[in-house]
A and B are shown apart, each in its own frame.
Chain A
């Protein structure tokens, strides 16, 4: 997740770069000249602005800058993005994913290592374009608004930083090339911000993109439930069960929603089925048993 190893292949990526024949440049991307060692806040403000968040690097400094480290950590860049109600999505370690985001109009925040593996010099910049004639990327970087870096040189600095790149998504947007596991794990973290409407929008989009993905359906049902929309929650779980009828986790949550809706006998039947589907020694069993106890207690008011 952090320095994700050198999954990508430099040579393959150079070939992809050769194939990229159209010039792209997101010229409307704002530029915040970096003040001393604060490229993190500058870069993050740049992509958040494009995603519709009105925030300055100065304001972000109190969210992500660590004086004692003279910089910003990747994890805090993600957390701060969530605080501004945008979904931080880490791209696959592949230059094609960067091209795909640029084509979708989203500038890409990258971590570079401008030093060596043993003597790293970490730097955040924002990729805003690619010029095929020159084989150069265009970055908002440091104090340069339009830093044109040779593709091979950029790839080397990016490889030494584990090919780490992120975009800030408006809830409800799913990148064309998104990997479902990566995207859904970003959403699971996003849920904790407690913005129910945004979480629902994000899961609706996920379910639309991957209708067969049970985790997306689980998340959508949970998001509706958290927002008090019991009927919609029930429908979301039911949709997953049509694809995967024996999904004990979905049955567990469905039972809770049925209980909250006052359908107690249906809830009891559902939870009994869920319990019968899992191994007695598993953690799932304990979680489901817990639900069964909760919903079977007389006079136990539903969570809403």
Chain B
């Protein structure tokens, strides 16, 4: 009985959050934005919008830890959409970070080739 009650409270609390969330939005509250319209067609749960607020702080903190200037970090998270923020929150460490110079590539490729050679996977060097 108690369990059932708490489950119901959760559902009610969540429903309240979902219903009141549009209220928290600014002046154009009654206008349904294109972003919302897209979400509606994609059936993205509204819960994700709540998470976006949390994601913002989390991504900002992560950027600062990774060496980004705190003032820049704030402006950078402001430039991201809710969906982008959530993607970054979950995958900031895994997403491709393009940045390699050509010199580094040559170095990495050489190391890989040497390792493969040592493991006798290839015979790149012994060919010569």
Decide yes or no whether A145 CB sits under 8 A from chain B.
no
Q: A66-B66, A222-B34, A283-B40 are in contact. Are A192 and B96 (CB under 8 A)?
A: no
Q: Is the CB of A39 within 8 A of B99?
A: yes
Q: Is the CB of A191 within 8 A of B30?
A: no
Mark B28-57 against chain A: 1 for CB-CB distance below 8 A, else 0.
Answer: 111111111110100000100000000000
CB distance from B86 to the nearest CB of A (A): 11
Q: A68-B67, A249-B32, A303-B29 given as contacts; is B23 within 8 A of A290 (CB)? A: yes
Instruction: Say whether A138 faces chain B, with CB atoms less than 8 Å apart.
Output: no
Is B114 interfacial (CB-CB < 8 Å)?
Answer: no
Measured CA separation A215–B37 after assembly (Å): 8
The reply to whether the CB of A113 lies closer than 8 angstroms to some CB of chain B is yes
How many whole Å from A57's CB to the nearest CB in chain B? 12
A210 / chain B contacts, CB cutoff of 8 Å: none
Instruction: Identify the closest chain B residue to A294 (Cβ).
Output: B30
Given contacts A66-B97, A142-B102, A283-B40, contact A252 B76 (CB under 8 A): no
Q: Which residues of B contact A46 (CB under 8 A)?
A: none
Assembly CA distance A252 to B63 (angstroms): 39
Q: Is the CB of B96 within 8 A of A120?
A: yes
B22 at the interface (CB under 8 A from A): yes
Is the CB of A219 closer than 8 A to any CB of chain B? Answer: yes
Min CB distance B52 to A, Å, is: 12
Q: Is the CB of B66 within 8 A of A111?
A: no
Interface of chain A: mostly helix, strand, loop or mixed: helix
Chain B interface size band reads: 35 or more
Q: Which of A62, A75, A121 contacts B72 (CB 8 A)?
A: A62
| Known contacts A219-B34, A222-B34, A303-B30, A249 near B40 by CB under 8 Å | yes
Contact indicator B96/A82 (Cβ below 8 Å): no
Contact flags A36-52 to B (C-beta < 8 A → 1, else 0) = 11111001000000000
Q: Write out the residue numbers on chain B whose beta carbons fall within 8 Å of the beta carbon of A71.
A: 96-100
Instruction: Say if the beta carbon of B87 comes within 8 Å of chain A.
Output: yes
CB of A159 within 8 A of chain B?
Answer: no
Interface residues of A in 240-273 (CB under 8 A from B): 249, 252-253, 255-256, 259
Q: How many residues of A contact B (CB 8 A)?
A: 76
**How many pairs of residues, A versus B, come closer than 8 Å at their CB atoms?**
183
Smallest distance from the beta carbon of B64 to chain A beta carbons, Å?
A: 10
Q: A259 to chain B: closest CB distance in Å?
A: 8
Chain B minimum-CB-distance residue to A114 = B105
**B residues less than 8 Å from A112 (CB atoms):** 98
With a cutoff of 8 Å between Cβ atoms, the chain B residues found around residue A295 in the complex are 30
Q: B30 is contacted by which of A43, A184, A252 (Cβ under 8 Å)?
A: A252
The answer, yes or no, to whether B79 is at the interface (CB within 8 Å) is: yes
Which residue of B30, B84, B92, B100 is within 8 Å of A79 (Cβ)? B84
Tell me if A290 and B22 are in contact (CB < 8 A): yes
Residues of A within 8 A of B66 (CB): 66-69
Contact indicator A70/B97 (Cβ below 8 Å) = yes
Residues of B within 8 A of A69 (CB): 66, 93, 97, 99
Asked whether A66 lies within 8 Å of B34 as measured between CB atoms, the reply is no
Residue contact A114 to B100, C-beta cutoff 8 Å: yes
Q: Which residues in chain A, 270-287, are within 8 Å of chain B measured between CB atoms?
A: 283-284, 286-287
Tell me the complex Cα distance, A188–B65, Å.
30
Q: Provide the residues of chain B in CB contact with A218, threshold 8 Å.
A: 32, 34, 37
Instruction: Give the interface of A toward B (CB within 8 A).
Output: 1-3, 34, 36-40, 43, 62-76, 78-80, 82-83, 111-116, 119-124, 141-144, 161, 184-185, 187-189, 191-193, 215, 218-219, 222, 225-226, 249, 252-253, 255-256, 259, 283-284, 286-287, 290-291, 294-295, 303
Give the 5 A-B CB pairs with smallest separation, nearest first: A71-B99, A68-B66, A71-B97, A67-B67, A79-B79
Apart from A124-B99, A142-B101, A192-B81, what are 12 other A-B pairs with CB-CB below 8 Å? A3-B96, A34-B101, A67-B68, A71-B98, A75-B84, A121-B108, A122-B97, A124-B98, A188-B33, A256-B28, A256-B31, A303-B29
